[in-house]
Amino acid sequence: MSEAMLPSYDPMQHILPRPTVHTAPATIALTRPQQEDGASLMTALSKRQSVRAFAPTPLSLQQLSELLWAADGINRAETGGRTAPSAHGLNEIDVYVALPEGVYQYEPGAHQLRLKHAVDARNLTGYQDFVGKAPLDLVYVVNHARADQMPKTLRETFAGVAAGAISQNVSLYCASVGLGCVVRGWLNQRLLAESLSLNEDEIPVLAQTVGWPVTA
């Protein structure tokens, strides 16, 4: 893509995460996903689309649980296999959830959320107006402590494939239950990394807004 085709967004140099409205619990135990619910795969594929207008209505705990399990949860307990593929099982992509009450990291093994930073960082997950208004934003982070176990020439490709698979899992789950979502790659990585309390080995590479679509 040429420089002229790139969107012209404000650099967000002075935007800060917002204070939380509610006290953020240290962990959020997620419920067991109901794997029999939702539309069929073919129906979900027929309904998959990008949505950019969201109602502020929060997802229920059950919906949040199923969303994250669909994204990159464990679907084979005996091996720890995930719903999204990863080369050599490195699982180099971590899923972060920006909620009004704080930023959480999804832990697939325990199927829970662990608090990383008690701030409302939704407005830092992208440049579009809707990112700070939707009930949640997912951020996909490459953990280079794991990714760098792959040959250097393949790291970016494999990490991109893994992040893409996770985001598509989310898109299909949303389509199957009537939620809306949109994937976004235009990020201020430095500001977002600070708001997520990441270290130097962790780089945010993709975000995905999720919520109930606003219907005309």
pLDDT at 21: 65
Is 55 within 8 Å of 211 (Cβ atoms)?
yes
Alpha-carbon dihedral 201, 80, 105, 28, rounded to 10 degrees: -160
Report pLDDT digits (tens) over 38-54: 889 999 999 999 999 99
How much is the mean pLDDT over the chain?
89
Q: pLDDT class for 206, splitting at 50, 70, 90?
A: very high
Can you list the alpha helix ranges (DSSP code H) found in 57-216? 61-72, 144-147, 152-177, 189-195
pLDDT at 205: 95
In order of their start, the domains of the chain are 41-211 (3.40.109.10)
Distance CA 42, CA 169 (A): 13
Distance CA 154, CA 159 (A): 8
Report pLDDT digits (tens) over 54-113: 999 999 999 999 999 999 999 999 999 999 999 999 999 999 999 999 999 999 999 999
Report pLDDT digits (tens) over 22-31: 788 999 999 9
Q: Taking 50 as the threshold, does the pLDDT of residue 3 lie above it? A: no
Question: In 3D, which of 90, 198, 80 has the Cα closest to residue 147?
Answer: 90
**Pairing relationship of beta strands 74-76 and 27-29 according to DSSP bridges:** unpaired
**Mean pLDDT across the stretch 121-131?**
89
pLDDT at 169: 97
The proportion of the chain whose per-residue pLDDT surpasses 70, expressed as a percent, equals: 89
Q: pLDDT class for 1, splitting at 50, 70, 90?
A: very low
Q: pLDDT class for 4, splitting at 50, 70, 90?
A: very low
pLDDT at 176: 96
The proportion of the chain whose per-residue pLDDT surpasses 90, expressed as a percent, equals: 75
Structure tokens of 177?
């239950």
Is 56 within 8 Å of 132 (Cβ atoms)?
no
What φ, ψ does residue 18 adopt, rounded to 5°? -90, 155
| pTM, two decimal places | 0.89
Q: Taking 70 as the threshold, does the pLDDT of residue 34 lie above it? A: yes
**Mean pLDDT across the stretch 108-130?**
93
pLDDT at 52: 93
Residues 6+ apart with CB under 8 A from 182: 50, 51, 52, 208, 209
Is 117 within 8 Å of 197 (Cβ atoms)?
yes
